[in-house]
């Protein structure tokens, strides 16, 4: 006789999550679970409901339905929850009037799991000094400070809302790679929202697309790669055959016709043209079309 394995409770669990502002429903009953040790990308247009979903997780707004974060009701138990949760918005959120050492002192008072020693250790070898005012730092130095703050918080759930907004690509990539290599563990869960979705694709374990308050895609990246296919078909007869297979998206790029398919066997597509797996940004464009959109008008 063997023991039945006990499934770990999700870090975040939502059922029928709704939110209204002034009578307008922003979230339309979202259902999802986020397990521990995963890196989630939460993607959607401005106004799609990403920030509202994050705010519900973090206890920053009321809601209808149920949501539990680390087993807690985030709105009713926010103070307790935030002992194990870290939330960092874009770099502009750092208080620029403070000195670096004053920022660390402030964070030590705010977050019980922030370590000033860890933050200082991370800045060793950089040009950032404790007595420097944050407003005097370059964008690159700001990114280093931001990352030091992240790495110094021992949290079970880390939520990053557009954390590299305004930074050049070099610092954005460095930020994410250090986060992945030096911070992530099997016990920690990371949720990221960003408009530069291709830059974080390499590190994601799961993806969530929100469109107009609805969760239209929620799956592991491995499944995304198996489920979706991209086809470039240049001949009129192969294009006609491709359309007969029901692509979810079609557009013309530099004189080539590109199709994206959902669940169509690759062996049916391979004779029709060049096959590949769509990038997350290609998939985003394909799936974020509103239901009334006509694919022919996107060409």
180-189: average pLDDT: 88
Bridge partners, 32 (sequence order): 14
What's the number of CA atoms in the CB half-sphere (13 Å) around residue 243? 12
Residues carrying CATH 3.30.70, the chain: 226-298
Only one residue has tokens 């370590």, namely: 115
Residue 295 has pLDDT above 70, yes or no: no
Cβ atoms within 10 Å of 66's Cβ, excluding its own: 11
Residue 2 has pLDDT above 80, yes or no: no
78-93: average pLDDT: 82
Query: What whole-number percentage of the chain has pLDDT above 70?
Result: 93
What's the number of CA atoms in the CB half-sphere (13 Å) around residue 77? 13
Q: 95: helix, coil or strand?
A: coil
Q: Is 42 left (phi over 0), alpha (psi -120 to 50) or beta?
A: beta
How are strands ordered across the β-sheet holding 64-69?
Answer: 24-34, 12-21, 64-69
Structure confidence by residue, pLDDT tens digits, 207-225: 999 999 999 999 999 999 9
Domain 12-212 has CATH 3.40.190.10: no
173-184: average pLDDT: 85
Are 30 and 215 spatial neighbours (Cβ–Cβ below 8 Å)?
Answer: yes
**Beta carbons within 8 Å of 156's beta carbon, 6+ residues apart:** 11, 36, 70, 84, 85, 187, 188, 189
pTM for this model (two decimals): 0.86
Residues 125 and 123: their CA atoms lie apart, in Å, by 6
Domain 226-298: assigned CATH number: 3.30.70
Q: How high does pLDDT run on average in the chain? A: 88
Q: Which of 29, 109, 110 shows the shortest CA–CA distance to 67?
A: 29
Q: Which of 150, 140, 156, 207 shows the shortest CA–CA distance to 179?
A: 150
Residue 299 has pLDDT above 60, yes or no: no
Instruction: Identify the band that residue 91 occupies on the pLDDT scale cut at 50, 70 and 90.
Output: low
Residues carrying CATH 3.40.50.300, the chain: 12-212
10-21: average pLDDT: 95
113-140: average pLDDT: 91
Residue 90 has pLDDT above 80, yes or no: no
């Amino acid at each position: 006789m063997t023991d039945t394995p006990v499934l770990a409770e999700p870090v975040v669990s939502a059922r029928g999550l709704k939110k209204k502002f002034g009578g307008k429903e922003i979230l339309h009953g979202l259902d999802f679970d986020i397990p521990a040790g995963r890196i989630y990308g939460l993607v959607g247009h401005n106004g799609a409901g990403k920030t509202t979903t994050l705010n519900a997780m973090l206890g920053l707004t009321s809601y209808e339905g149920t949501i539990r974060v680390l087993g807690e009701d985030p709105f009713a138990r926010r103070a307790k929850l935030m002992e194990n949760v870290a939330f960092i918005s874009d770099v502009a959120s750092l208080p620029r009037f403070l000195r670096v050492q004053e920022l660390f002192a402030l964070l030590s008072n705010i977050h019980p799991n922030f370590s000033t020693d860890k933050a200082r250790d991370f800045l060793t070898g950089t040009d950032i000094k404790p007595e420097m005012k944050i407003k005097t730092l370059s964008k690159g130095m700001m990114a280093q400070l931001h990352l030091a703050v992240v790495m110094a918080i021992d949290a079970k759930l880390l939520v990053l809302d557009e954390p590299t907004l305004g930074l050049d690509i070099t610092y954005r990539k460095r930020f994410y790679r250090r986060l992945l290599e030096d911070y992530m563990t099997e016990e920690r869960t990371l949720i990221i929202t960003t408009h530069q979705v291709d830059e974080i694709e390499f590190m994601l374990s799961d993806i969530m697309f929100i469109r107009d308050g609805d969760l239209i895609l929620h799956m592991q990246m491995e499944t995304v790669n198996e489920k979706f296919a991209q086809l470039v078909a240049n001949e009129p007869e192969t294009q006609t055959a491709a359309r007969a297979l029901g692509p979810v998206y079609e557009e013309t790029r530099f004189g080539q016709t590109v199709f994206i398919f959902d669940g169509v066997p690759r062996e049916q597509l391979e004779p029709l043209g060049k096959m590949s797996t769509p990038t997350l940004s290609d998939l985003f464009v394909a799936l974020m079309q509103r239901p009334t959109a006509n694919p022919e008008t996107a060409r």
